[in-house]
Structure 1
Amino acid sequence: MAAQLYKTENGRLFHAGAVAIITVGLPARGKTHVSRSLCRYMRWMGVSTKVFSVGNYRRERLRTIPEEYFDPNNKAAFAARIRIADDCLDDLIEWLQHGGGQVAIYDGNNVTEERRREIHDKLVNQDIHPLFIESICNKPEIVLANIRSVKISSPDYVGWEPEEAVKDYTKRIEQHKINYETIADLSLPFVKLMNVGEQLIVNNVQGYLQSRVVYYLMNLHNRPRTIYFARAGESLNPNLYKVDAELSPEGRQYAENLKNFMIAYREKKRTEANNSEDQERPLSIWTSTRKKSRQSALPFAEAGFPVRQHSVLTQLNPGEVDGLTPEEIKQKFPEEVARARQDPYRHRYPRAESYHDLAIRLESIIMELEREKNDVLIIAHDTVLRCLYAYLFDRPESEIPTISIPRPFLVEITPTAYGCKETRMEITPESCV
């Protein structure tokens, strides 16, 4: 569970009951990306959510895939695929009814009307609200990009040569096309997601949770991009929040080093990139409205990069412990220190914010980050970066206060269909040339 925004005793929110989200569509249409991204967002909201992947069940049962396993004319293979898919669906139902879950995502192809009606009726009979999400791509370049960027890294193709993996997966897509039927039954609640976010068609969607799903999908895309995190430079008075001090000389030098490092690093990546989109993707800088963040981004602005200030990126407000040393806090607020140790994520000192408060404040920037199609460098305080990092990597709320985002490191985060990947690079004067 990530940074849970809301919490109830029974673990279910908004009186929405149990919801099952069923993916629909041909392979390489972004279904896994949608499933995992949506799961991460719902968990961040505090909704107990889990992905049930038919592909994972198949890999666990078979280890290796027979050559004609996806051939629609192979009746024995078709029956085996249905058995595995049904086992996955039964486990989903069990988790929703007895495992403390509220939203389960059934990640599979589900390409026929008959199969979808069967799933719908089975869920409704168990008092589970179904919602179908059909991923449709009518642009060949998007499909090819999905095949290359996602399926080469898929567990199905570990150890394969990239071109052979592309060839095999293309064949699998053609086999699924034979029986594929787009959703036409208007009695079903569904969302049609065109070209991973270019257009949404919504039908018969009801309830708060389902509406939040639609809202999230409106902001989702799977275009390649990179997110960078960097601490703001050190200020003249780093221990006093209320002062809002300017950067120290060391902080100004750090800001210059950060700019030089980013330019050199991105130029190197552009030179090595095979994809023209990677070569041309611009970079924007996001900061808080605090002086040290704005001034840390100033070298980028002077170099021509767009810089945007967001007040919600302001660091956690320490309240009455502002400027106090750990020893002084223990002496002045011994009871508060004990409470903070018990629940460091939700505890707030007098007139202060907790990490929980900060996570709620950052929800709008998270949605903006999901919408962003270009590369972004976020320069902020470590408290802010911890929360954003926890969202992207689906980290438990209990870990957030201790996530390490040290200065002078640059954290490079690359979202993929199977989760985010990170690289940490130390910014030194030698690395900035």
Structure 2
Amino acid sequence: MAAQLYKTKSGRLFHAGAVAIITVGVPARGKTHISRSLCRYMRWLGVSAKVFSVGNYRRDRMGSIPNEYFDPSNQEAAAARLQIANECLDDMITWLQIGGGQVGIYDGNNVTEDRRRDIRDRLVAQDIHPLFIESICNKPEIVLANIRSVKISSPDYIGWDPEDAVKDYTHRIEQHIANYETIEDMSFPFVKLMNVGEQLIVNNVHGYLQSRVVYYLMNLHNRPRTIYFARAGECYNPKSYRVDADLSPEGEKYAQRLKNFVLHYRKEKSQLSSTSSNKSEHQERPLTVWTSTRKKARQTAIPFAAEGIPVRQHSVLNQINPGEVDGLTLEEIKAKFPEEVIRAQEDPYRHRFPRAEV
């Protein structure tokens, strides 16, 4: 969990204001992946964030539509899609103004300069700070992989033959390319993301949250990887946070069994993948163990370190300090701090019990 950020009664960080992130680019460039991933990151920071997908709005209102509706020369269809896109934009603005939101992510193509300028002007008029993220990809293999892995399984292609879906979506991309204008107005705050992270171009970006977005994009990846979660072993005083006790003998046995299990499991996965044409993620990425800075977590990782596996300690993985409820049972907490229990249920992420460190 990230460090707690200051929050006002409005639900916003006092120093950041409302921020709108607008995606730019033709289809199959990773815009939706970026939108959802950024939303999770913002929420992890404690920021109220939400994705507003133009594609989802269009499917809700029009269902699955033929490719003729994406033809730039089809003025009737273009007007209908613009109306839906504006409805999505209006909903995001309303959510940022009165819905308790702070970061709205407007997931759409927004391929023309006129459209982006209209979006920016509407946001600025409402005291919302815009940030445009343009996804550019000039590697056909990345685009094709994205189409095959994500797009043909979308609601637009339910029941389609995969190859027919690829051809249809490729045609849709070509229609958008015909109308596409890259961001050139240097007055815009924007980030250009080249080939899913190979290069970043940052322009006119200011503000705390906007800077966090840029930092996150610098570390964004689109390659699948596996993360294993495991509890720390049992310690001598498991009910007390303050004591920060060592592992018990049973906890040490658990640490050894955990190491043996993880290494055996990865070995089996690697052997199975060696018979297939695809290279395993386990072959490509070595194992790294992350722990909190608490004793029981660090000591649980000792058997991994003895095998030469890198072990890194991160304070953000620490258990939240329970403060005055340290050592109490749930029934005792409810009896002693009934109002705090209600506050914790209403806002579990930000709530802290008395004398707990933030």
Q: Same fold (TM over 0.5)?
A: yes
> Would the aligned equivalents of 2:64 and 2:155 in 1 still touch at CA under 8 Å?
no
Q: Could you tell me how far apart the structure 2 residues matched to 1:93 and 1:289 are?
A: 41
CA distance in 2, matches of 1:223, 1:233: 31
Look up the match of 1:34.
Answer: 34
State the alpha-carbon separation in 1 of the partners of residues 168 and 11 from structure 2.
43
Q: In the aligned structure 1, how far is the partner of 2:134 from the partner of 2:144?
A: 18
Report how far residue 16 of structure 1 moved: 4.3
Match of 2:297 in 1: 293
Alignment of 1:314-333 (within 5 A): 314-319=318-323, 322-323=326-327
1:276 pairs with 2:275: no
Q: Is it true that 1:306 corresponds to 2:310 in the alignment?
A: yes
Structure-2 change in CA distance of 1:21 and 1:258 (3 Å): same
Give 2:304's aligned amino acid: F
SS at structure 1 position matched to 2:187: coil
CA-to-aligned-CA distance 1:3-51 (integer Å, 9 cap, x gap):
9733212233335443322110111211112212222233344433322
TM-score, length of structure 1 as denominator length: 0.71
- Cα distance in 2 for partners of 1:108, 1:81 equals 11
Of 225-234 and 148-157, more deviation after overlay is shown by 148-157
| Residues 324 and 353 in structure 2, CA contact (< 8 A), matched pair in contact too | no
Q: CA RMSD in A?
A: 3.0
Trace 1:49-68 onto structure 2 (pairs within 5 A): 49-68=49-68
Give the fraction of aligned pairs with identical amino acids, expressed as a percent: 74
SS class of match (1:343): helix
SS of the equivalent of 1:166 reads: helix
In structure 2, relative to structure 1, the CA distance for the partners of 1:207 and 1:79 (3 Å cut) is same
- Indicate yes or no: 2:97 matched with 1:92: no
For residue 35 of structure 2, give the secondary structure of its aligned residue in structure 1.
helix
The Cα shift of 1:132 comes to 1.2
Question: Residue 291 of structure 2 contacts residue 317 of structure 2 at CA under 8 Å; is this kept in 1?
Answer: yes
| Alpha-carbon contact 2:7-2:14 (below 8 Å) kept | no
The answer for the alignment partner of 1:218 in structure 2 is 218
Q: Which runs of 5+ in 1 are unaligned?
A: 358-433
Counterpart in the other structure of 1:421: none
Conserved 8 A contact 1:287-1:308: yes
Relative to structure 1, is the Cα distance of residues 207 and 334 closer, same or farther in structure 2, using a 3 angstrom cutoff? Answer: same
- Aligned counterparts of 1:197 and 1:119: Cα–Cα separation in 2: 25
Alignment of 1:4-403 (within 5 A): 5-270=5-270, 271-272=272-273, 275-276=278-279, 278=281, 279-319=283-323, 322-323=326-327, 335=336, 337-344=337-344, 345=348, 346-350=351-355, 352-353=356-357, 357=358
CA displacement at 1:277 relative to structure 2: 5.4
- The count of corresponding residues between Structure 1 and Structure 2 is 348
Higher relative contact order (CA 8 A, sep 6+): 1
**Contact conserved, 2:3 with 2:316, CA < 8 A, in 1?**
no
Identify the range of structure 1 (162-171 vs 231-240) with the bigger mean alpha-carbon deviation: 162-171
Q: Distance in 2 between matches of 1:154 and 1:261?
A: 36
Q: 1:80–1:302: structure 2 CA closer, same or farther, 3 Å change rule?
A: same
CA contact (8 A) 1:132 1:190 kept: yes
CA contact (8 A) 1:241 1:317 kept: yes
Unaligned stretches of 5+ in structure 2? none
Q: Give the TM-score normalised by structure 2.
A: 0.84
- CA separation in 2, counterparts of 1:115 and 1:26? 14
Q: How far, CA to CA, are the matches of 1:229 and 1:104 in structure 2?
A: 30
- Which is richer in strand? 1
- Provide the C-alpha distance between the structure 2 equivalents of 1:203 and 1:164, rounded to a whole number of angstroms: 40
Task: Using the TM superposition, give the Cα deviation of residue 231 of structure 1 relative to its aligned residue in structure 2, in angstroms.
Answer: 0.1
Q: Secondary structure at the match of 1:227?
A: coil
- CA shift in 2, pair 1:326/1:8, >3 Å: closer
